[in-house]
Structure formats: C-alpha cells, structure tokens
Amino acid sequence: MKPFAYVRATSVAEAARLLGAGSAAMAGGTDLLGLMKGGIAAPARVVDLTGIDGLRGWSRERGAGLRIGALTPLVDLETSDQLARHLPIVRAALADTATLQLRNAGTVGGNLLQRNRCWYFRDEAIPCWLKGGTRCFASEGENEHHAVIGTARGCNRVAPSDLAPALIAHDARVTLVGARGTRSIALADLYTDPALHSRDEHTIKRGEILTEVHVPEAGLQRRGTYLKAMERKTWSFAVVSVAAAARVRDGKLRNPRIVLGGVAPVPWRVEAAEAEIDGHPFSDELARRAADALLADAAPLAKNGYKVPLAKELVRRALAAIAAA
C-alpha cells in the first residue's frame, strides 16, 4: 500500500474542504481499504468521515418520508423492527449482504458508493478500460459474473450494491454536500449512465459527501420485496437480484418499480417494463411480459447467458410475492 495521510473530519464542511484532488473519503473502510491494499486506489490523503456527528440513524416524519443518515451502519438498519415496518425491503436486501462483520463496519453511503467487483478491475496488474486502459478483458475472458445488458461500450462490470436497487424501487433520493453547496438527486442518478462511456462509476463530484438518503412519502406507500440469487448462501455478491415495489389494491399493482442488480453496470430499470403491469390485475403472464420487456435488449457474453432466464424468473417471483402479500 502506498503511504497516505490520514485526517478525521469532525464536520461535513471540514470534510468537503479536505476532499481535494488525490483525497478519498472513508466511512467503514471495508471497500476503500481493500482497494488501497490491492493497489487499485492510491489516495494521498484519506478523510475519515466517522467523526462527523448527525449522519447516523434514521427518522420517519409522517408526510415527509423517511431519512437515513449516510454513516448509519448497515446492521442498524437490518436489525430495526421499526424500520422494517416502514420499509421492509431494506431488511430483505441487507439480510444477504456480505457478512455480519462487514454489515457492522459498512455504512449506507459506502454501500451505495462501493466500486464494482469485476476481477479484472480488481487486479492491479490488468490495465482494463475502467482503469484507463483500452479494452474490457471480460468481453473475451472469464465473464460469467458480468453484465448482460446496458453495457454500451467499454466496460462489462455490474452494479454490486444490494441496497441500491431496493432503495431505487422506493424512489429514494440522496443528498450530496460539497464546498459549493448542496444538491439532491435521485439515487438512480448516482450511477453513471454507461452510454456516456465515462470511466467514473458514480456521479458524485470530487469533494462531495453523501450525507443522507431520503425515501419520499409516495415511495413508502409501495409494498416492496427483494430477491437475490447467489453462488453460495453467504458472503457473496448478487449474481442477479431484483427489487420490486408497487402499491397494491384489488389485486392490481400500481405505479410499480422493478430494479435489477448484478446484470448491468448500473441498477437496471426499464419504464416500459413497469408500464406492462401498471394498473392491471396481476397474473403470471403479465409478470413474464414485464420481465421480457426489462431484458429485451440483453446481449449476454459467452459465459453469462444464464443470467437472463434467472433474472426473468426472479422478476416473476418478486411480482407474485408483492401481489400476494
């Protein structure tokens, strides 16, 4: 690991000031430190955010939605029965996220901003496209865990966070604070559109700190569920995951959201797929039509074609679970 300076910020303003070029924010450190040890990240200065008060915990204000502080440890969300009553999808998504130790140390902001797990990207010796090289080694190489859709050109990574699809299904927004001010964006927009061919995975700007996740009142009215397929039962990223949420009345799913993890460089959502089921009485046939629309543009690589039928079946099961609940 390259030597670096360590600073523990005590306020968001101080952290924003310290996060100049060559600096990296650190929350739980469970991803950042691994990247540094692996030679993938080499910040000259690490700005520890954990000394900042006021960014932990969650609150619910009737009519104003639900707020989650970015430094909240994942385990605090997972174990809160009260939160599970307001937003059960969070517990469902975190149940199979990493390990208990990692959920203790890992935070909400860090989970949403973690880097991808492509083995070519994580190998210091491989100059892949995302690290400034000229090609994606997964295109022709070992690609069974890679993207089947939305890759445009350049990179076949998949979005790794379990929390992101779950929160996007409830229309979550995030607050980003920097030296130049505060902005609120849809959580979905935190992930860089692959069509832009950007070598940044996230749209957060240098010097910005993610302070809060906000789930609006309308998002909380949806019933949601999260299903995750893994290679083994624990300590494993999603091969495919689906977050689905909708308001359910008279057997009809209204204003639905279907968001996939593990299949695309970003949490994958297609509005036309949601329109297939919106306001119609639920049926397996309708769920299949939605799943087909969601994956209509899938173009699997040599070894990951299995993800397409797997994702479609998970979508069908998730929608059936919401309709039946």
Ligand X SMILES: Cc1cc2nc3c(=O)[nH]c(=O)nc-3n(C[C@H](O)[C@H](O)[C@H](O)COP(=O)(O)OP(=O)(O)OC[C@H]3O[C@@H](n4cnc5c(N)ncnc54)[C@H](O)[C@@H]3O)c2cc1C
Nearer to ligand X, 111 or 225 (CB): 111
Nearer to ligand X, 114 or 225 (CB): 114
CB of 252 to ligand X, least distance (A): 32
Nearer to ligand X, 23 or 304 (CB): 23
User: CA 251, CA 272: separation in Å to the nearest integer?
Assistant: 21
Nearer to ligand X, 226 or 282 (CB): 226
User: CA 39, CA 33: separation in Å to the nearest integer?
Assistant: 10
CB of 248 to ligand X, least distance (A): 27
Q: How many CB atoms lie within 10 A of CB 210?
A: 26
Q: In this structure, what DSSP letter does residue 292 have?
A: H
Nearer to ligand X, 16 or 253 (CB): 16
CB of 136 to ligand X, least distance (A): 21
CB of 126 to ligand X, least distance (A): 19
Q: Which residues lie near ligand X (CB under 6 A)?
A: 24-32, 34, 49, 70, 97-98, 102, 105-107, 109-111, 113-114, 160-162, 209-210, 235-237
Cα torsion angle, 153, 229, 293, 141, sign: positive
Give the CB-nearest residue to ligand X: 110
User: CA 264, CA 111: separation in Å to the nearest integer?
Assistant: 17
Map tokens 């995030």 to a residue: 174
**From residue 62, how far is each of 65, 213, 215, 217 by CA, in Å?**
6, 16, 12, 8
Which residues, including other chains, have CB under 8 Å from residue 36's CB and lie 6 or more apart?
1, 2, 4, 42, 43
CB of 150 to ligand X, least distance (A): 19
